[in-house]
């Protein structure tokens, strides 16, 4: 059936046996209709297709490949710059925290408020331990607050900077 | 060294030597001339949009050139090309599905001023029928009946199991015939 379609013998020059078979066979009838339509369609579409010249496609591919290569080459440096920027921001934050007296006072006030609040929680069996834990955290922060603040800032900013850089 | 320095060096390196592709220019141009019309027709039918087919054609050949693959034969190379085209058309279909509906370009594909009236009507029927089918069904039917690909080639191009092709093709063909209004009653 397919051979008859592709050689142009269907339907005009098909044998009587083939015609009789197609008359009684639903599958071959589908095949004849679909294959015949596609054969016709394929010829017309290919004839009317306006494809660019091969030299143009080659040239565009070359340009695109160079752009991609340049982008790939630059990416590690951009990521390193982003991490460096995040680190500088983090260190600057830590230095600011270490030198600004009002910031330290504000930080101490915040932790005192937190420990006071934790001590007032109305569950007696937990209140002692919560107070102890809060007290320990407050003492650590009081001695190394600036360093911890800087590290936290770095950890927050670095992934964000890397994401923004690598996004494109 | 700044980023702009590196960009400058990369650009110079690009102009100094050709980018490495899977084939040289002469081989590519010969292969392109043999396959471009088929690939474009396939993409145009899958996407239903001539402009999209133009863009995807360039992208298909670019990805083909960048793929670091070795091909055993012309058929293998051609199957790879159609597989890339299939994937790009599918991605394009997914992207467009999320957008607001626009005027379909399918009708453009059936319009050809040189066509006799009967042929125009037949092409319009096919265009509408294909528009009602899934992209994979369009791809299957086009590869089988417009490209004359074997089941093995279809399986390679669409990334499906060889054993599934026959059944998928049978179903797609029956669906298209039913949309085209082929009379299925025996003896008629």
Per-residue confidence (pLDDT) for residue A37, from 0 to 100:
79
Structural domains of chain A, count? 2
Task: Assess B123–A contact: CB distance below 8 Å, yes or no.
Answer: yes
CA angle in degrees (0–180, nearest 5) for B184-A18-B185: 15
Task: Assess B4–A contact: CB distance below 8 Å, yes or no.
Answer: no
Q: Give domain status of residue B105, yes or no.
A: no
- Which of A39, A49, A70 is opposite residue B11, by nearest beta carbon? A70
Interface of A with B in 2-31 (CB under 8 A): 6, 23-27, 29-31
| Beta-carbon contacts of residue A28 (< 8 Å; ≥ 6 apart) | A1, A21, A22
Q: Give domain status of residue A21, yes or no.
A: yes
Q: Which residues of A touch B150 (CB under 8 A)?
A: none
Q: Give domain status of residue A60, yes or no.
A: no
Residue A73: CB atoms within 10 A of its CB come to: 16
CA angle in degrees (0–180, nearest 5) for A48-A52-A56: 170
pLDDT tens digits, one per residue of B75-123: 889 989 999 999 999 888 888 765 544 444 455 555 555 555 566 666 6
What range does the domain containing A34 cover? Answer: 2-48
Assess whether B140 and B185 both reside in one domain.
yes
Assess whether A84 and A157 both reside in one domain.
yes
What's the mean pLDDT in B141-166?
A: 89
Task: Assess A74–B contact: CB distance below 8 Å, yes or no.
Answer: yes
Rg (CA), chain A: 38
Assess whether A72 and A38 both reside in one domain.
no
pLDDT over threshold 50, residue B187: no
Q: Give domain status of residue B110, yes or no.
A: no
Task: Assess B68–A contact: CB distance below 8 Å, yes or no.
Answer: no
Task: Report the 3 state secondary structure along B26-48.
Answer: HHHHHHHHHHHHHHHHHHHHHHC
Structural domains of chain B, count? 2
- Which of A27, A54, A74 is opposite residue B29, by nearest beta carbon? A54
Question: Is A52 in contact with B57 (Cβ distance < 8 A)?
Answer: yes
- Token pair in block for residue B83: 């597989």
Question: Is A34 in contact with B148 (Cβ distance < 8 A)?
Answer: no
Q: Give domain status of residue B109, yes or no.
A: no
Q: Give domain status of residue A100, yes or no.
A: yes
Global pTM value = 0.63
**DSSP sequence for B158-185:** HT--HHHHHHHHHHHHHHHHHHHT---S
What's the mean pLDDT in B35-60?
A: 91
**DSSP sequence for chain A:** -HHHHHTT-TTTT--HHHHHHHHH-HHHHHHHHHHHHHHHHHHHHHHH--PPPHHHHHHHHHHHHHHHHHHHHHHHHHHHHHHHHHHHHHHHHHHHHHH-HHHHHHHHHHHHHHHHHHHT-S-HHHHHHHHHHHHHHHHHHHHHHHHHHHHHHHHHHHHHHHHHHHT-
Task: Assess B83–A contact: CB distance below 8 Å, yes or no.
Answer: no
Assess whether A80 and A149 both reside in one domain.
yes
Q: Give domain status of residue A57, yes or no.
A: no
Q: Give domain status of residue B103, yes or no.
A: no
Q: Give domain status of residue A97, yes or no.
A: yes
Cis peptide upstream of residue A11 (ω within 30 degrees of 0): yes
Helix (H) or strand (E) holding B75: helix B74-97
Q: How sure is the predictor about A61, in pLDDT bands with cuts at 50, 70 and 90?
A: very high
Assess whether B7 and B89 both reside in one domain.
yes
Task: Assess A78–B contact: CB distance below 8 Å, yes or no.
Answer: yes
Q: How far is A64 from chain B (nearest CA, A)?
A: 8
Assess whether A24 and A81 both reside in one domain.
no
């Amino acid at each position: 059936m397919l051979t008859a379609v592709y050689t142009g013998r269907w339907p005009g020059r098909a044998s009587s046996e083939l015609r009789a078979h197609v008359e009684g066979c639903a599958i071959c009838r589908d095949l004849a209709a679909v294959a015949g339509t596609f054969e016709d369609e394929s010829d017309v579409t290919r004839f009317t297709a306006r494809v660019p010249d091969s030299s143009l496609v080659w040239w565009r591919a070359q340009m695109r490949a160079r752009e991609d290569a340049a982008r790939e080459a630059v990416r590690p440096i951009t990521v390193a710059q982003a991490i460096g920027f995040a680190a500088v921001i983090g260190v600057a934050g830590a230095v600011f925290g270490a030198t600004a007296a009002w910031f330290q006072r504000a930080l101490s006030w915040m932790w005192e408020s937190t420990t006071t609040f934790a001590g007032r929680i109305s569950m007696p069996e937990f209140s002692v331990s919560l107070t102890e834990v809060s007290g320990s955290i407050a003492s650590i922060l009081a001695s190394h607050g600036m360093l911890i603040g800087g590290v936290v800032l770095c950890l927050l900013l670095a992934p964000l900077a890397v994401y923004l850089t690598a996004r494109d | 060294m700044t980023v702009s320095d590196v960009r400058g060096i990369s650009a110079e390196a690009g102009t100094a030597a050709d980018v490495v592709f899977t084939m040289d220019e002469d081989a590519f141009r010969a292969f392109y001339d043999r396959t471009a019309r088929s690939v474009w027709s396939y993409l145009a039918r899958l996407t239903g949009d001539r402009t999209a087919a133009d863009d995807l054609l360039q992208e298909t050949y670019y990805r083909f050139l960048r793929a670091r693959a070795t091909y055993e034969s012309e058929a293998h190379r051609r199957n790879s090309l159609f597989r890339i085209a299939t994937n790009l058309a599918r991605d394009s279909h997914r992207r467009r599905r999320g957008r607001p509906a626009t005027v379909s370009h399918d009708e453009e594909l059936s319009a050809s001023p040189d066509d006799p009236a009967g042929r125009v009507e037949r092409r319009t029927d096919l265009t509408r029928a294909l528009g009602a089918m899934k992209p994979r069904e369009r791809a299957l039917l086009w590869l089988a009946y417009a490209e004359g690909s074997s089941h093995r080639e279809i399986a390679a191009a669409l990334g499906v199991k060889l054993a599934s092709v026959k059944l998928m093709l049978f179903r797609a063909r029956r669906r298209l015939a039913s949309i085209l209004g082929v009379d299925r009653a025996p003896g008629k």
